[in-house]
A and B are shown apart, each in its own frame.
Chain A
Amino acid sequence: MNVARKPFVRPQELSRDGRLTSFLVYLEAVTVVFDGFKALDIDLFGVYHNELRVVIGPNGAGKTTMCDVISGKTRLTQGKLFWHGNDIGTVHDIAMSRMGVGRKFQTPSVFDSLTVFENLELAIPNRQRDLLRNLWGKTTADEEAKIRQLMDRVNLTKQSDLQARFLSHGQRQCLEISMLVLAEPDLLLVDEPAAGLSDEETALMADLLLELRGQHAIVVIEHDMDFVRRLDAGVTVLNEGKIMAEGYMEEIQANPEVVEAYLGR
Chain B
Amino acid sequence: MFDKADRILTLVRGALHKYAPGIAVACGISIPCFYLAGWITIDTVNMLGRYLALALVALSLDLVWGYTGMLCLCQSFFFALGGYAMGMYLAHHGGPEGIIDHAGWKIPACLYILFSDVEGALTPWFWKPFYFLPATIALGLFIPAFVASVIGFFVFRSRVRGVFFAVLTQAVTLAAWLVFCMNDMKLCGTNGLTRFDRLAGFPLNDEKTRLGLYIITLAALVLVYWLCWLIIKSRLGRVLVAIRDNETRLRFAGYKPYLFKMFVFSVSAMIAGLGGMLYAPQMGIFTPTNMEVRESILVVVWVAVGGRGTLGGAVAGTLLVNLLYNYLTSQHEFMGLVWKPDYWPFVLGSLFIIVVLFCPDGIATIWKRLTDVSKKSAPQSEGTR
A residues with a Cβ closer than 8 A to B are 71, 93-94, 97-98, 102-103, 105, 109-114, 118, 121-123, 125, 127-129, 131, 134-139, 162-163, 165-166, 179, 183
If A109-B246, A110-B246, A113-B241 touch, whether A134 touches B236 (CB-CB below 8 Å) is yes
Least CB separation from B382: chain A residue: A165
Least CB separation from B259: chain A residue: A131
Q: Which of A118, A129, A131, A162 contacts B263 (CB 8 A)?
A: A131
Q: Which of A109, A113, A163, A166 contacts B248 (CB 8 A)?
A: A109
Minimum Cβ distance to chain B for residue A196 (Å): 18
In the assembly, what is the distance between CA of A127 and CA of B238, in Å?
Answer: 13
Whether A131 and B253, one on each chain, are in contact in the complex, defined by CB atoms closer than 8 angstroms, is no
What is the predominant secondary structure among interface residues of chain B facing chain A? helix
Minimum Cβ distance to chain A for residue B185 (Å): 35
17 A-B pairs in the complex with CB atoms less than 8 angstroms apart: A94-B251, A94-B256, A97-B251, A97-B252, A109-B246, A110-B249, A111-B245, A112-B245, A114-B242, A122-B253, A122-B255, A128-B256, A131-B259, A136-B234, A138-B235, A166-B379, A183-B254
Minimum Cβ distance to chain B for residue A229 (Å): 29
- Assess whether B239 is interfacial by the CB under 8 Å rule: yes
If A94-B255, A128-B254, A162-B378 touch, whether A111 touches B234 (CB-CB below 8 Å) is no
Whether A114 and B235, one on each chain, are in contact in the complex, defined by CB atoms closer than 8 angstroms, is no
Q: Which of B234, B236, B244, B253 contacts A179 (CB 8 A)?
A: B253
Least CB separation from A99: chain B residue: B254
Task: Write the B214-245 contact mask toward A (1 if CB under 8 angstroms, else 0).
Answer: 00000000000000000100111011011011
Whether A93 and B252, one on each chain, are in contact in the complex, defined by CB atoms closer than 8 angstroms, is yes
In the assembly, what is the distance between CA of A36 and CA of B125, in Å?
Answer: 58
B residues 108-122 in Cβ contact with A at 8 Å: none
If A114-B245, A131-B260, A179-B253 touch, whether A166 touches B378 (CB-CB below 8 Å) is yes
Whether B245 and A128, one on each chain, are in contact in the complex, defined by CB atoms closer than 8 angstroms, is no
Whether B256 and A111, one on each chain, are in contact in the complex, defined by CB atoms closer than 8 angstroms, is no
Minimum Cβ distance to chain A for residue B197 (Å): 41
Which A-B residue pairs are the 10 nearest by beta carbons?
A128-B254, A134-B236, A97-B254, A111-B245, A111-B242, A134-B235, A135-B236, A109-B249, A98-B254, A103-B252
In the assembly, what is the distance between CA of A161 and CA of B249, in Å?
Answer: 20
B residues with a Cβ closer than 8 A to A are 231, 234-236, 238-239, 241-242, 244-246, 248-256, 259-260, 263, 309, 378-379, 381-382
In the assembly, what is the distance between CA of A122 and CA of B250, in Å?
Answer: 9
Minimum Cβ distance to chain B for residue A94 (Å): 5
Least CB separation from A135: chain B residue: B236
Whether B249 and A105, one on each chain, are in contact in the complex, defined by CB atoms closer than 8 angstroms, is yes
In the assembly, what is the distance between CA of A136 and CA of B379, in Å?
Answer: 32
In the assembly, what is the distance between CA of A105 and CA of B259, in Å?
Answer: 24
Known: A111-B245, A135-B234, A165-B382. 11 other contacts (CB 8 A): A94-B256, A97-B252, A111-B241, A111-B246, A112-B245, A113-B245, A114-B238, A122-B253, A128-B255, A129-B254, A165-B381
In the assembly, what is the distance between CA of A112 and CA of B245, in Å?
Answer: 6
Least CB separation from B258: chain A residue: A94
In the assembly, what is the distance between CA of A112 and CA of B255, in Å?
Answer: 17
B241: chain A residues within 8 A (beta carbon): 111, 113-114
Least CB separation from B244: chain A residue: A113
Minimum Cβ distance to chain B for residue A240 (Å): 27
Least CB separation from A71: chain B residue: B252
Least CB separation from A132: chain B residue: B236
